[in-house]
Chains A and B, each alone.
Chain A
Amino acid sequence: MASPSTRGSLALTLSAYAVYAFLYLPLLIVVAYSFNDSRLNAEWVGFTFDWYHKLLHNQEMLKAAGNSLIIATVSAAIATVLGTLAGMALHQFRLRLLPGLVLAPIAMPDILMGVSLLLFFMLLNMSLGLLSIILAHITFCIGFVALSVQARISGIDKSLTEAARDLGATPWVCFRRITLPLLAPGILAGALMAFTLSIDDFVITFFVAGVGSSTLPLQIYSMVKIAVTPEVNAISTLLMVLTLALIMLVSRLSPAALRGS
């Protein structure tokens, strides 16, 4: 006979599984159909790697993937540097406007960001392409990196940097040997987050992309407009695996893991 508490925990477990199912079942279906030996997403016919094989010979898709990787790498790198500086400034100075200015792009609707960036680039007479996409991605990634770095920095004991100075470190050496290593998990988490956000972004990219600068999400969208082919399933699966791997890496980042102890 089950006691009230075990019945309670059983209900909790069941509802947890229900939520997981709700969240991940649609994704699992995409994964499953990407290995389905049929052009139709209707019934299971048999296992195949065909669609992945086809993907490797799809020039447009490869180009889009290449663009996405370039954009994500460059914009994540620049957003990480700027976001780290912003995060440190948020912690160090009590400026009234700064938090709002840094964090607003996080809360701003993507569509608004996309439209305004497009107008801005037009105003500057800038041609749309990789550069415009990278600039756009940097703007919305900075806030996320800044948040991550700020959370980390406020957990660092101020006496550590004072101790470093006290023991003979100049401000720069203190930053490099004490502050930076202690901030590293926050910076890395922010960088990975920026990379994932950039590689997955559709709405903003849609507005600021030009001819020949299509990214993976844009490419998938244009293919889906015709039909959801198993090829789309395959590329979606790959994108999903990459994203999940990065997210897992972010959540695993703890000081102990970084130190290797």
Chain B
Amino acid sequence: MLEIKDVSRRFDSFVALDRVNLTIAAGEFFTLLGPSGCGKTTLLRMIAGFDQPDDGDILLDGRSLIATPPEQRPLHTIFQNYALFPHMTVAENIAFPLRMAGCAREEIAGRVARALEDVRLPDKGRHYPDALSGGQKQRIAIARALVNRPRLLLLDEPLSALDAKLREQMQLELITLQKEVGITFIYVTHDQGEALALSHRIAVMNGGHIVQVDEPSRLYGFPNSRFVADFIGHCNLLGGVVTAVQTGDATVELDGLGTVQTVIQPAAGVAVGRRCTLTLRPEKTHISTTLTPGEEAAHFRGVVHDMLYLGDVTVYKVELANGMIVEALLANSAPGRARFFEVGDAVEVAWRLDAGHLVME
């Protein structure tokens, strides 16, 4: 439905976007995720029409949008600060896109009333935006953007101004809403948790490039680079060199630790002699006092360096022989869990053959 083709954008000497390619399908909840300055907002502004690419093309249903001014593009934007017009009532705000489209007065009144009911604020029509709470403003901004059924909805960090509780509630509402209206959502955020929770697919961006485009579970489980592994969730990153490749797994010499076996993915480009990083999620890293031979593919001795009690889980930071700190997660409700480890305890960290994921450098 929406195609981004070789789009580049430079601001003086700063390259904000470097030959970005993306295809977004109709009805998708698609997220652009990345640290600040990665180019995600620049890309969103180009789709909206507030900025023009230096090179490349943006196509909607096969037709270029480049020459189309923002007001003629069949898409709307939800701004970070909602951008409700302060001199208009809530109802006038929602009526704005309908008036611009030249709808009849009676029709506008009916659709505004329905839009207010849809966001469960039926009696706020006569209020001015500054009389609304953050969550209410958010809902009105959504109602205004959806009232004339755009093809695409662009959302620029729309939940960043809300507190944690409300944010979670709005996330659920956004998922439901997107399912109901079936409009394609393009969502920009730097919050990886939010991206994982909301999206059908995520494009991870860094330094003006798209690093990886995938479903949330695949991004989390099979990052294609150190950057993605580190940016999405918590991850132990162990550097090393591939020493042998067998069908289905490889042997890696981890820097200062020793060799481990690990399962590899078919398309990972693993080759003997190449530098690599073993990415290992803390929840797949086991911590114990006794050796558990057989089941685990790799185990290393270490000392508990730090611990964080988080209620449901405890995060242990274990210092290994090479001075590296590895995080291991232990559920506090784990069966047979006898005691907590203390700082300074000698422990063993271990992981299964298929726990780690190898990325090439």
Which residues of A approach B to under 8 Å, CB–CB?
A: 157, 159-160, 162-170, 173, 178, 181-182, 255, 259, 261
6 nearest CB pairs, A to B: A168-B100, A163-B83, A167-B97, A159-B83, A165-B70, A159-B79
A159 to B161: give the CA distance in the assembly, Å: 15
CB distance from B73 to the nearest CB of A (A): 8
Specify which chain A residues have a CB less than 8 angstroms from the CB of B96 in the assembled complex.
Answer: 164, 167-169
Let me know if B101 and A168 touch, CB within 8 A: yes
Assess whether A168 is in contact with B81, with CB atoms less than 8 Å apart: no
Q: Are A255 and B87 in contact, with the CB atoms below 8 A?
A: yes
Known A162-B50, A173-B100, A261-B128; contact A168-B83, beta-carbon cutoff 8 A: no
- From A162, A166, A169, A182, B86 is in contact (CB under 8 Å) with A182
A169 contacts which of B75, B76, B81, B100 (Cβ < 8 Å)? B100
The closest CB in chain A to the CB of B96 belongs to: A167
- List, in ascending order, chain B residues with CB within 8 A of A165's CB: 49-50, 69-71
CB contact under 8 A between A159 and B81, given known A166-B71, A255-B87? yes
Q: Does B85 contact A (CB under 8 A)?
A: yes
A160 → B minimal CB distance (Å): 5
Verify A182–B76 contact, CB threshold 8 A. Answer: no
Question: What chain B residues lie within 8 Å of A181 (beta carbons)?
Answer: 87
- Known A165-B69, A170-B71; 12 more pairs at CB < 8 Å: A157-B83, A159-B80, A165-B70, A165-B71, A166-B76, A166-B77, A167-B71, A167-B96, A168-B97, A168-B100, A181-B87, A255-B87
Chain B positions near chain A (C-beta within 8 angstroms): 48-50, 69-71, 75-77, 79-81, 83, 85-87, 96-97, 100-101, 128, 144-145, 148
Contact A168 B71, beta carbon cutoff 8 Å: yes
* Beta-carbon nearest neighbor of A158 in chain B: B83
Q: Is the CB of B70 within 8 A of A166?
A: yes
> In the complex, what distance in Å separates the CA atom of A180 from the CA atom of B347?
69
- Shortest Cβ distance from residue B296 to the other chain A in the assembled complex, whole angstroms: 53
Secondary structure of the A side of the interface?
A: helix
From residue A33, how far is it (CB to closest CB) to chain B in Å? 46
B186 to chain A, nearest CB (A): 13
For the complex, what is the distance from the CA of A169 to the CA of B85, rounded to whole Å?
13
Interchain CA distance A159-B145 in the complex, whole Å: 14
| Residues of A with C-beta under 8 A to B79 | 159, 162-163
Closest beta carbon of chain A to B36's beta carbon, Å: 17
Among B70, B101, B144, max chain A CB count under 10 A is at B70
Instruction: Evaluate contact between B81 and A166: CB separation under 8 angstroms.
Output: no
Contacts of B100 in A (CB 8 A): 167-169, 173
- Cβ-defined contact, A166 with B48, below 8 A: yes
Report the minimum CB–CB distance from A143 to chain B (whole Å). Answer: 27
CB distance from A92 to the nearest CB of B (A): 15
Q: Which residue of B lies closest to A259 (CB)?
A: B87
- A212 smallest CB distance to B (angstroms): 46
Can you list 21 A-B contacts with CB-CB less than 8 angstroms, sorted by A residue number? A160-B83, A160-B85, A162-B48, A162-B70, A162-B83, A163-B79, A163-B83, A164-B96, A165-B49, A165-B70, A166-B49, A166-B50, A166-B77, A167-B71, A168-B71, A168-B100, A168-B101, A169-B96, A181-B87, A182-B86, A255-B86
**Hey, which chain B residues are within 8 Å of A259, CB to CB?**
87, 128
Residues of A close to B145: CB separation below 8 A? 167
- Closest-by-CB residue of B relative to A161 is B83
- B135–chain A nearest beta-carbon distance, Å: 19
Q: Are B83 and A169 in contact (CB under 8 A)?
A: no
| CB of B62, distance to nearest CB on chain A (Å) | 23
Known contacts A168-B100, A168-B101, A170-B71; is A163 also within 8 Å of B87 by CB?
no
How far apart sit A168 and B48, CA to CA, in the bound complex (Å)? 12
In contact, B85 and A178 (Cβ under 8 angstroms): yes
Residue of A nearest to B128 (CB): A261
Residues of A within 8 A of B69 (CB): 165, 170
A102 to B79, CA, bound (A): 34
CB-defined contacts of B148 to chain A, threshold 8 Å: 168
A170 to B81, CA, bound (A): 22
- Measured in the bound complex, the distance between the Cα atoms of B77 and A178 in whole Å is 17
Give the most central of A163, A255, A259: most B CB within 10 Å.
A163
Complex: how many Å from CA A173 to CA B101? Answer: 12
Q: Name the CB-closest residue of B to A163.
A: B83
A159 to B79, CA, bound (A): 7
> Residue on A with the closest CB to B100?
A168
Q: How long is the Cα–Cα vector from A178 to B88 in the complex, in angstroms?
A: 9
Report the nearest A residue to B45, measured CB to CB. A162
Residues of A within 8 A of B83 (CB): 157, 159-160, 162-163
Interface centre among A164, A165, A182 (most CB of B within 10 A): A165
Closest-by-CB residue of B relative to A184 is B87
Give the Cβ gap from B132 to chain A, nearest Cβ, in Å.
14
User: Measured between alpha carbons, how far is A261 from B50 in the docked complex, in Å?
Assistant: 33
Interface centre among A160, A166, A169, A255 (most CB of B within 10 A): A166
Indicate if the CB atoms of A157 and B71 lie closer than 8 Å: no
Interchain nearest-CB distance for A146 vs B (Å): 22
Interface centre among B75, B83, B97 (most CB of A within 10 A): B83
Which of chain A's residues have a CB closer than 8 A to the CB of B85? 160, 163-164, 178
Q: Is the CB of A169 within 8 A of B87?
A: no
Q: Is the CB of B144 within 8 A of A167?
A: yes
CA of A157 to CA of B85 in the docked complex: distance in angstroms? 10
- On chain B, the residues within 8 Å of A178 by CB distance are 85
| A227 CB to nearest B CB, Å | 53
A157 surroundings in chain B (CB, below 8 A)? 81, 83
